[in-house]
Each structure stands twice: as structure tokens, then as C-alpha cells.
A and B are shown apart, each in its own frame.
Chain A
Amino acid sequence: MTSVIGSRVVREDAWGKVFGQAQYPADLNLPGQIYGVVLRSPHSHARILSMDVRKARELPGVAAVLTAADVPRNSHGVLYRDQPVLVAEHIRMVGDPLLAVGAESLELAREAAGLVEIEYEPLPALFDTEEAMRPGASPLHPEVHGLSNVFYHLPVVKGDLNKGWEIADVVVERDYSTQMVDHAFLQPEAVLAHVDARGNLVIQVSTQYPHYDRGEIAHALGIKVSRVQVKTLSIGGSFGGREDISLQLIAAMLAYKTLRPVKMENSREESFYSHCKRHPMSMHYKTGATRQGKLVALEARIVGDAGAYASWSPNILRKAAIHATGPYEIPHLRVDSYAVFTNNPWTGAMRGFGAAQPVLAYESQMDILAQELGLSPLEIRLRNIFRTGSVTATGQLLSGSVGLEECLQKVAPFLRQEEDKE
């Protein structure tokens, strides 16, 4: 038998998927199920002055209307529990969940949600990170994150930056920015929750981390994790967008409250509002190199827009700082990375996790430097890349498994030289 490691084994669920048999949460139903919907905030920053749910509760066919008052422990979050399951008073972004309705049909649930009367006091909102960072800017999370919207800052410092600028023959300074993007997984969030014959909550869902979801559901409801089963079905892509808990928490509450199976399905528009986004980052880069093309100095400032909640932001901005040099040795550097609250949609995990945005900056700087020095893009990289034995910006020794030079050599033949440009 040849080794199965390195072979082309067919994934075990491929056949079920080509026949349309693979089950995603929206494909499941249980007898007697009700349909859940979430009413989300139209305001980016506001205080709820009053919420009248009587008409919604009285609508025939409505099984439950849940508000913040119905949530035993009204918070969730991957690092900090700073995100409400349902907002009690302080709305921090468009799309914040305000209440949940469970009814005999989806149409009825939507109709009931439309009958809720809410009085808002709009508050001044911050949409720009530089404004939000200013001393005196109104803090978005004074209770959990203190009196500044800058809730994470990591400096990475190595060598002596002054010396770096002294020995640099060429210095390139530019500003870069990246946009907010969505995971756009093909399968919108969906869930089926019910209380089973054991009296346990069973949540069938697409998630990246069922054990985390179980903990958040148990926490919010104030029950033991052994009373909650989170079972994943087929998952229609995730890319980081199924890290923070979503509909499954609300469906679990509705099922627990009504003892009815609860089905919830996001439309694409609802999906855009019910998971995080990729951090937009603004990046100021100043990079110095010697005439020989050796990188000697880097000063970078990276600011990430966290939106309204922390989610994974500290880890993401940390990762941005750690990866800010690119895969190159730079002896003298200072990188400052900040995570900042605004009233934009919250940002969190997405493929690349903070190491994606700086790529634009550090790889553009390399090409600009190459141009200034009269080197080819390939040559300047070969003179600086990590190899076994290199030390990173954080002082970490790369003791092995550094296959970068071989990667460069493999793609080099695909690069056109200046002279063959038409």
C-alpha cells in the first residue's frame, strides 16, 4: 500500500453533497416547530427609551416575544462578554439585536416584530477611527473597556530605530488602507433548536466551534453545559464568520422559553447584519533600506476599526503587528497597532485574521523600494526573506520549516522581466 498521506483521498461527504442529501440546518424541520425572527436596530447609536411589546404578544399565533428582560445573563463574546444577546438600553450599531419573536409562521413572526413600538433617543455616533481615538471622544463601552475607545494597543519594538534611519540609504513612506469586507459564505445562518426528551436543549447549527457555542448558550440561560447539545450539520463555508455566536443563541432561548422546536433562517440581508466583518485598517509605513537592498528600519502605525464590539479585535491587531514586517528580517523597528471602537458594524475573525491587511502595505513597500534601488522585485525579496535561523520582529527564532526561498524560486519563472514588457 502506498502512503495515504499526500494522496488524493476523496472527502467522505462529497457523494452526499452531489446528490443533494447533505443536510444544512435550514433543511431540518420538526413537528410543531415555530419560526423565530430577530428585530434589529436601525440606529447606529441610540438609547432605548421605551419598548412596548404588548400588541406583538397579543397577536394570535405568537408564541413568545423575548426582550433583554428575558435573558438571564445578557452577554456574549469570544474574548470579552461585551455584546448583549438582546439590547436592554444602549444600542451601539445598526443591526444590534433588540428582541426576538417566535410564532407559528415566519410571516406572523415578522408581522409581530413590526408591531413592537420602540422609542429611541439617537446619540452622537463615531464612524471614523481617528475621531474615535481622540481624547475626550465619548467611550462606547465604559463599563467593560474603560473610558477610551482604544481598547487595545501593542507596540513591537526591536533594535534602535534612530540607528536604522542613520544607516538607511533609501526611505519610503506611504499610507495604505483596506476596506471592510464580508465572508459571504454561500449558506446564510440557520438553526433548529429544541428541548428533547431528556429536557436538554439541542441546537443543530452550522458553526465553527460547537463547544464554544454550548458554553455561550449555557451562560446566557444560566444552565449547565451538560444540558446543552450543539450538533453541527454540514457547514456552507465560514471563513471566520461563524466564530462569534449568532442565531443559535436566540433560537436556544426561544426553545427554552416555549418548549417548542424553533427554526430560524437568515435572509442574505439579515446575514450581512448578523455576523462580523473584516477589519478595515489604515496603515502608515515608513521603511528604510541600504543601497545593497537590505531592509534596516521600519516604523509602522496600524489602526483597525473594531466597530461596535471587541470580538477578536485584540488578537487580530496583535497579529497585524506581529506580521507587519512581512516575511523579512528588519533589525530596527517600531510597530504600533491599535484596535478602536466605532459605531460601525463589528469586525472580527476572517481568513487571514489581521495578517491579511498588512500584506498590502509591506509588499507594496518592497516593490517601491526595489524600484528606487534599481533591483528586481524578486532580488530585493531574496536579500531579506526569512530563512531557517532568522529572527522575527518579536525576537522569535525561526528554528525550522521555513520554505520561503523555495516558494520564491518556484514562482520566479512566472514573473516577466522589465524588458519583455510590451
Chain B
Amino acid sequence: MKKRGTGLGCTWYGTGYGNGFPDVSSAFVEIHDDGTAAVLTGAVDVGQGSSTVFAQIAAEELGLRPEDILVCSGDTDVTPDSGTTAATRQTYNTGNAVLKAVRQAKLRLQEFGARKFSCPSPEGIELKDGMIGVRGDPSRSMPLSELAWEARLLHGERFISASSFTAQTTAVNLENGQGAPYWPYAFGCQAAEVEVDTDTGTVRVLKIAAAHDLGRAVNLTQVEGQIAGGVAQGVGYALLEEVELAEGRIKNPAFARYLIPTALDVPEIESMIVEEPEDTGPYGAKGLGEPAMLPTIAAIINAIDAAVGVRITSLPATPEKILAALAEKQRGGSGG
């Protein structure tokens, strides 16, 4: 018989290296003569989309299009150290470093603009839609491309900057674990609907509804991609995957025997975003990479219990374990 049930998973995740370890990222920025810009960071894009995030941050600040920003990353001869692409830290940490560096270069542009347009303060100069000029006075503005060119060729002015950002945490006390070991924290909840076949013990995940508080979504497409990818890995972790060992030897070091989810194993996914801004994050952003997979695990395990009344306490929830738990339950045991 096939039975359905829903389950809830609710999780939190401290981002960054944490525990007081200096979590520092750096970025270099250069404004080109034609008003486009380069951002250099050591942060590598492993597929999650950090380079696109940095281009968006620079474009937002400089009033340019993201495609006008060249992001160069992960070359030790060229780029500064921006820490590892891990710990859900690149949008927050290196994003902040990029933001600080871009704002430095921008301030130089504003100062030059203030002199050029006889504006009393650099804050009165805005960069928008590829233009630079006096805020609220379109007659005193010009394309950034012309200003940058003029600045270098007529005045020898360059707009180049470097900056670093360090996340703030403290080490926990080794006697009692007290301290402020991470910042910021990301939160998420997911609901899973599963169908359990009580004859075969197989579980099909029909739907996952995922809501994640990531502070601020910088790139909606990439946010959805992280959530769906996290859900798929959560499905694999909860139901399919296990490195099997025999005396320390891996028995299944091949995709034929180590099963990861295929297109047929993933559920319909509804992703929802909660933006509870983080004061110290770039535009309020925290992070999402790791948190995306965490609630899936519990949502599925709890949904299995809701569907057939057995509690699986060891991952993965294989058909064998579910059948054994169902049999135990029939015999009058507690199940699981």
C-alpha cells in the first residue's frame, strides 16, 4: 500500500570560519578608461555563482550593468587572498570586501566628479545608468566612460582600490563552550511530502516547500539554484547515499554502486525567500549554500513517520530499514 505524509524540518546555520579565527577576504578594484570595471578576488566560483554576485555588487555601486564588470578570481599570481569557498562565506565575506573596495574607488570618482561639476561635496555626486553627475541635476552629468577617460588622459587620475573585510566572532570557552562563535546565522524550514510504499519500503519525495532566511537575495536565479541543489543533496543523504566500508576499504567507489539522486529522484520544489536583513552584510545578505540542504533531511524523516508511523533513526532511510521498522511495529514494538 502507498501512504502519504508530510514532515517538517527547521534548522539554523552559523556561517563563516567562526570561533574567532580571522575570517578575512580581500578585493582589488580598477575602473577602466571606458567606464567599465574589474574586480579581482581570490574567491573561486565552484558553480554556486560568487563571481556573478560580485559583478552585481560592483554594478550596483557604480551604476553600471553587471556585464560591464570583469570579475577575475582564484589566481594566486593576480588576485588577493579571499579565503576558501566554503562555510557559506563568499557572498557575505568577499561580498563585503568587494563592496568596501568598490566604494573606495567610487569615492575617488565622486571626488573627481565634485571638482569637475563644481559640487561642494563628493556625496552630491551620483553614479547611475552609466552616468556620473550632480544628484538631481541631469544638466551637470556625463557618461562615466568619458569621465574615466578624461581623468586618466588629461589629469593622470586613476580609480584603483583594495580593501579587506573580516567577520567578527569569538572563540568558545573550552570548559563550557560559551562564546559568540559564528556570525551571521542563516535559518531555514522545509516541508516534505513523501509517499511510502509499505510493500517495498521505498520512499518517493513528492514535494519540498523550502523557505530560507538568507538576509537578502542578491541573485534570485542563483538562490533558487542553491535551494534546489541543496534539496537534491538532502534527498540523497536522507534516502540513498552511503559509503560502505569493509575493514576501512570502500566497497562502492563507483556511481553504479554509490547512488546519488537522478532527475527522477528529485521532488517538485517550491522555494520561498525570507529576507530578514543582516546589518553587517552586503545589502543585508547573509548566505545560503550549506543551509539549503539541512532541513530536507529532517523533513523527509519526519514525513516518513507521518505517513507510516515508523521513526527512522539512522540514515539513510533505506527500504530495508523501513520494512524492518514496519515489521517491528506490526509485532507491537515502538518502530525505528
Which residues does A use to contact B, with CB under 8 Å?
1, 3-13, 42, 44-45, 93-95, 125, 127, 154-158, 174-182, 184, 207-212, 214, 225, 228-232, 235-240, 242-243, 268-269, 271-273, 277, 315, 318-319, 321-323, 326-327, 335, 342-345, 349, 351-353, 355-356, 359-360, 363-364, 366-368, 377-378, 381, 385-386, 393-398, 400-404, 406-408, 410-412, 414-416, 421-422
Contacts and interface: CB of A to CB of B under 8 A. Distances in A.
Contacts of B63: 1
B324 interface: no
B33 interface: no
B213 A5 contact: no
Interface stretch (B80-88, B100-108, B114-122, B133-141): B80-88
Contacts of A272: 243, 250, 253-254, 258
Given A228-B76, A403-B213, A343 B305 contact: no
B87 A411 contact: no
Interface in B55-114: 55-57, 59-60, 63, 65-67, 71, 73-77, 81-87
B216 interface: yes
A237 B46 contact: yes
Interface of B: 3-14, 17-19, 42, 44-47, 49, 51-52, 55-57, 59-60, 63, 65-67, 71, 73-77, 81-87, 128-129, 172, 174-182, 184-185, 187-191, 193, 207, 209-213, 215-222, 230, 233, 236-237, 241-243, 245, 247-250, 253-255, 258, 260, 270, 272, 274-279, 281, 283-284, 286, 289-290, 293-295, 297-298, 301-302, 305-306, 311, 313-316
B56 A5 contact: yes
28 contacts: A4-B66, A5-B56, A6-B220, A42-B249, A181-B236, A181-B241, A207-B44, A208-B46, A209-B42, A211-B81, A229-B75, A229-B76, A238-B47, A240-B86, A242-B46, A326-B11, A360-B298, A363-B301, A377-B7, A377-B8, A394-B179, A396-B182, A401-B278, A403-B187, A411-B211, A414-B6, A414-B193, A416-B306
A388 to B, nearest CB: 9
Contacts of A377: 7-8, 302
B297 A360 contact: yes
Contact of A182 (B44, B241, B270): B241
Nearest to B245: A344
Given A360-B297, A411-B190, A323 B13 contact: yes
Contacts, number: 370
B46 A359 contact: no
A382 B7 CA distance: 15
A94 B85 contact: no
Contact of A414 (B11, B175, B209): B209
B295 A4 contact: no
